[in-house]
Amino acid sequence: MPETHARRRSLLRAELRAKELDALLVTDLLNLRYLTGFTGSNGALLVNAEDDARSLFCTDGRYLTQSETQVPDLERVIDRPCDAALAKKANGRLGFESHKVTVDGLDLLEEAADAELVRAAGLVEQLRLIKDEDEVEALRMACAAADRALAALVEHGGLRPGRTELEVARDLENRMLEHGAAGPAFETIVAAGANSAVPHHRPTAAVLRTGDFVKLDFGALVDGYHSDMTRTFVIGDAADWQREIYELVAAAQAAGRGALAVGTKVSDVDAAARAVIEAAGHGEHFLHGLGHGVGLQVHEAPALSKVGVGTLAAGMAVTVEPGVYLAGRGGVRIEDTLVVRAGAPELLTLTTKDLVVV
């Protein structure tokens, strides 16, 4: 998508001019992918503030053919190390990703560059906060792959007594591959029984049993973009306390989704959901922030939490995932991926949020 990447670089050049930088050296590989489409393991980009025709892309000989296809619209430098090779070609005030460059890496840049090195942390990440429609479409496809995989898992009896958490996790990940994912977005969480009270439990040989909560937190990876969804099931019969906790978390999740409006403080979104849980006397059992941004990383800005900073803007992709965790008994989390819009948010994870007893 050369046009898409050129448009993103154009937005970045405007930021560089505003900060009186002559160029930016991009060395973070996710930021490089965002700006060029390159998916290799070694590369860098020198973005010229005035003229994209003077921007340079660098990789090494392993990616000669790949870069011809993925980065057809920029002049290429085949060299290594790429950061030093491009720094040598810069003049004036050269911004660099100081939040990503190591101490030794900075020494290398200082040796290579005649330009004035200027810390320029987070400039590309600030652009990545707002997803363009190409990114949203990739997120839609990732969420759809996860939705379809979960539906197939349930339909074919994948959640049943006697299976282990590990077996369910591998089954679900394989089904995501079958439904269009390049891979799982992160290590799938399957947490049964008392393990469901551990927010980020890693699946084990623990066996699913009748009466268990089973919490599934998982996502699909499509075109580099991550989906993120959590659903909590009950095997067999649901006890009254399980229905009570589930309904509470569902109400809190609905409140969080309802607070996703342009201009709202991210901390206020967290507060909207947290207030529901606190009013029911379970505030101490909600152990984490409400959600996070999602895109080329499964956890990225903004952070929807008590200490989150900033306000929502149209195009931000975020999760809303309150939970209540009762140690030794079980827990519930319900999570969706959504895109903030000028009106109501767009829901990307479409699996029902009603309590499902399997």
pLDDT tens-digit map of 121-179: 999 999 999 999 999 999 999 999 999 999 999 999 999 999 999 999 999 999 999 99
Q: Are β-strands 323-326 and 330-333 bridged in parallel, bridged antiparallel, or unpaired?
A: antiparallel
**DSSP letters of 64-129?**
HHHHHHH-TTSEEEE-SSHHHHHHTT--SEEEE-TTT--HHHHHHHHHH--SEEEE-TTHHHHHHT
Q: Where are the beta strands (DSSP E) in 130-235?
A: 183-184, 189-192, 213-218, 220-222, 225-226, 229-234
Exposed e or buried b per residue across 145-173, where buried means at least 16 C-beta atoms within 10 angstroms of its C-beta: bbbbbbebbbeeebbeeebbbebbbebbb
Residue 2 has a pLDDT of 85
Residue found under tokens 């969420």: 143
Overall average pLDDT of the 271-279 stretch: 98
Q: What is the pLDDT of residues 299-319, one digit of tens each?
A: 999 999 999 999 999 999 999
Query: Running DSSP on this structure, what letter comes out for residue 283?
Result: G
Overall average pLDDT of the 208-233 stretch: 98
- CA atoms of 274 and 320, how far apart (whole Å): 11
- CA atoms of 290 and 286, how far apart (whole Å): 9
- CA atoms of 323 and 333, how far apart (whole Å): 4
Predicted TM-score (pTM) of the model is 0.95
- CA atoms of 247 and 135, how far apart (whole Å): 33
Query: What's the token pair of residue 62?
Result: 């392993």
Residue 89 has pLDDT above 90, yes or no: yes
Query: Running DSSP on this structure, what letter comes out for residue 248?
Result: H
122 neighbors 300 (Cβ within 8 angstroms): no
Residue 1 has a pLDDT of 77
Q: In a 3-state reduction of DSSP, which class is residue 134?
A: helix
Amino acid in position 59: T
Query: What's the token pair of residue 247?
Result: 């309904």
Overall average pLDDT of the 210-239 stretch: 98
Q: What is the pLDDT of residues 150-163, one digit of tens each?
A: 999 999 999 999 99
Residue 297 has pLDDT above 80, yes or no: yes
Instruction: Find residue 184's DSSP bridge partners.
Output: 220
